[in-house]
Structure 1
Amino acid sequence: MKAIQVHRAGGPEVLELTDLPKPHPGPGQVLVKVEAVGLNFADILYVAGEYLVRTRYPTIPGMEFAGVIEALGEGVEGLHPGQRVAALGGSGAFAEYALVPARSVLPVPAQMSAAEAAAFPVSYFTAYFALATQARARPGEWVLVQAAAGALGTASIQVAKVLGLRVIALASSEEKLALCQGLGAEVALLNTQGDLVDAVKNATEGKGVDILMEVVGGEGFAQSLKMLAYRGRLLVIGSASRQMAQMYPVSLMKGNQSVIGVWLTPFLSDPAEMQAATAFLMPLVASGQIRPVVGQRFKLEEAAEAFRFVLSRKNTGKVILEP
């Protein structure tokens, strides 16, 4: 089978198209013929050796994908060959076939395309756990979504609206802001405007946002803190700037504010949390109330170009690789 393999830490230049033996499922595993792969910024960090888990080389990147089950390992129940599924495997998706534990497989509605299914797991489960679990969002609260036209951003807007939240979207172009407004954002602001803190305060009648989804980090982190309302919660979900952020914890005291980390991976091994998230999200998918935004598509052999595209910050929705 064709696969993208990485032998050393680096950027797009270390992605190598190679031929590898087709894997066979062991006990508790599912072999899936990959139809589409969702490219996440976390994949770029993983290849670079900068992710939250240690990268062991050689490796095949790709943490989320969709495809059709080809074979089941011993002991797997509730799934069948020919069934389209989405999967969160951690790695291994940049290939024509991928092995994943059966517990990591999620059946998807028939009306969902392979690309939409591949764009679903990471972004929507992250958005749910961020807003509903970590932030304990309440209807009527204001949430600010950074990089709002991206994969996580578009998912977060949709989940926020279902939760009854009021959304402020930040993005880098008018075209991206229009997309966010179409998804339900009440306020859309260019992230380059100089008076951003004032604009956020004005939009919220002077109080600031109750929840802020922070994915950029670096120098902008201090600005994000200034946008919080009394008892506001800043959710640290990423650091696209790949720069260190500084914070003075005592500054949180005056407003009884919180800074909360959000990482999807530990939730995946918690059956109760995953059951709650799945019960919330899947009916919304089936009804069409939430729908992944699919962005630029690339062939598997164009993985390096796809990496560069994501790093250019030009993408909207989820960038997709197709074997």
Structure 2
Amino acid sequence: MTTMKAIWVEQVGEPDVMQLRDVPVPEAGEGQVRLKVEAVGINFADVLAVKGQYLTRTQTPLTPGMEFAGTVDQLGPGVKGLQVGQRVAALAGRGGLAEYAVVPAQTVVPVPDGLSAPEAAAFPVSYYTAYITLVTLGHARPGETVLVQGAAGALGTALIQLARAMELNVVALASSEEKLSLARELGAQTTLVSERPDIVEAVREVTGGQGVNLLVEITGGEMFGRSLQMMANRGRVMVVGSASGERATVDAVTLMKKNLSVTGVWLSSMLGEPGVVREAMAVFGPLVQSGRLRPQVGPSYPLAQSAQAFRDILARKTTGKVIIEPQA
């Protein structure tokens, strides 16, 4: 096999810029691994990369797909600790929307046993981000209350599951009752429609007037100011995204009055920290085996319908992790 199908982006823009092309099958070089890609987990960051609006500048031409799972197909010189035929996941930043992908060996991450390919593809970004948000940077303690925005999405569902395993109280926000029903199934004790005009008052009411200890902010813009009003004294706001695309402003006096802290969370920069992945996996393994953590796989699309998958994410039509299967 000398050619393969891949998604190709020559210039950034709306999902329509994504083209399905025949391209050469890549060869694994020094320190690299080639994967036969079985499933790609699509994150909002992938959508932003195609639009040219991600945290880092999009380098074109681009084959999107930051997070994917598959089997090791070829080992490059100098690669140790992996073997052909082994199922792994990769957090390579790009390249997943193709039948085969070559990635640096250090971007290959373990996935817990017993997960299907779509579940494995849905696992790394959402669950490692959830762990870093709640544990590594958020310092959550049993009995505290965490508010999760976008509760029915891939990250939201991971956060709810991990929070419940950590004995946290969960207030889940989502845009519809249908999405909130999933949050309740996963263990969220309190669910609220995020678009209600009195959302600040509602959150304060369900927390007995105290506010929440930890809040996972993915919206940005005007919502960020409301998030600050939902906090308890010494609360921690964890900024994981800015889905609105609008710039948020922080009023220093608001932070001072309640001793609030605001922390940015970006998985890419944390993966270079020694021991972070190892520490998280030690927690994940038993929780996956017991069924307390299970990736919520959403709709699945073939490679040729990648642009439609991105459009559906932008239109907020999906729940769980959107999956694209290049081999389908």
Shorter-chain TM-score: what band?
Answer: over 0.9
SS at structure 2 position matched to 1:253: helix
Residues 52-201 of structure 1 correspond to what in structure 2 (within 5 A)? 52-201=55-204
What is the Cα deviation at residue 109 of structure 1? 4.2
What is the Cα deviation at residue 226 of structure 1? 0.4
Relative to structure 2, which stretch is displaced further, 283-292 or 176-185?
A: 283-292
SS at structure 2 position matched to 1:69: strand
Q: Which amino acid aligns with 2:75?
A: L
Matched, 1:313 2:302: no
Structure 2: which 5+ residue stretches go unaligned? Answer: none
What is the Cα deviation at residue 250 of structure 1? 2.0
CA distance in 1, matches of 2:286, 2:92: 23
Equivalent residue for 2:227, pick from 218, 224, 229 = 224
CA distance in 2, matches of 1:74, 1:288: 38
Matched, 1:11 2:9: no
Deviation track 1:279-317 (CA, whole Å, cap 9, x = no partner) reads 222332233220000001111111110010000112110
Deviation track 1:144-182 (CA, whole Å, cap 9, x = no partner) reads 000000000000001111121100000111111111011
Classify 1:273/1:111 alpha carbon distance in 2 versus 1 (closer, same or farther; 3 Å). Answer: closer
Classify 1:243/1:213 alpha carbon distance in 2 versus 1 (closer, same or farther; 3 Å). Answer: same
Equivalent residue for 1:288, pick from 276, 287, 291 = 291
SS at structure 1 position matched to 2:258: coil
Q: Which amino acid aligns with 1:30?
A: V
Structure 1: which 5+ residue stretches go unaligned? Answer: none
Q: Which amino acid aligns with 1:60?
A: T
Contact 2:228 2:254 in 1 (8 A): no
SS at structure 1 position matched to 2:233: strand
Deviation track 1:98-127 (CA, whole Å, cap 9, x = no partner) reads 111222222334521110000000000001
> Could you tell me the percent identity over the aligned residues?
57
Equivalent residue for 1:303, pick from 293, 296, 306 = 306
SS at structure 2 position matched to 1:20: strand
CA distance in 2, matches of 1:209, 1:251: 15
SS at structure 2 position matched to 1:234: strand
Equivalent residue for 1:248, pick from 246, 251, 259 = 251
Relative to structure 2, which stretch is displaced further, 285-294 or 231-240?
A: 285-294
CA distance in 1, matches of 2:82, 2:233: 48
Classify 1:109/1:231 alpha carbon distance in 2 versus 1 (closer, same or farther; 3 Å). Answer: closer
* TM-score w.r.t. length of structure 2: 0.96
Classify 1:231/1:123 alpha carbon distance in 2 versus 1 (closer, same or farther; 3 Å). Answer: same
CA distance in 1, matches of 2:66, 2:129: 13
CA distance in 1, matches of 2:139, 2:156: 18
CA distance in 2, matches of 1:142, 1:130: 14
SS at structure 2 position matched to 1:71: strand
* TM-score w.r.t. length of structure 1: 0.97
Equivalent residue for 1:275, pick from 274, 278, 287 = 278
CA distance in 1, matches of 2:176, 2:59: 37
* Counterpart residue number, 2:236: 233
CA distance in 2, matches of 1:83, 1:223: 46
CA distance in 1, matches of 2:308, 2:87: 27
RMSD: 1.1
Runs ≥4 residues deviating over 6 A: none
Contact 1:83 1:107 in 2 (8 A): no
Deviation track 1:197-225 (CA, whole Å, cap 9, x = no partner) reads 11111111110000010001111111111
Matched, 1:2 2:5: yes
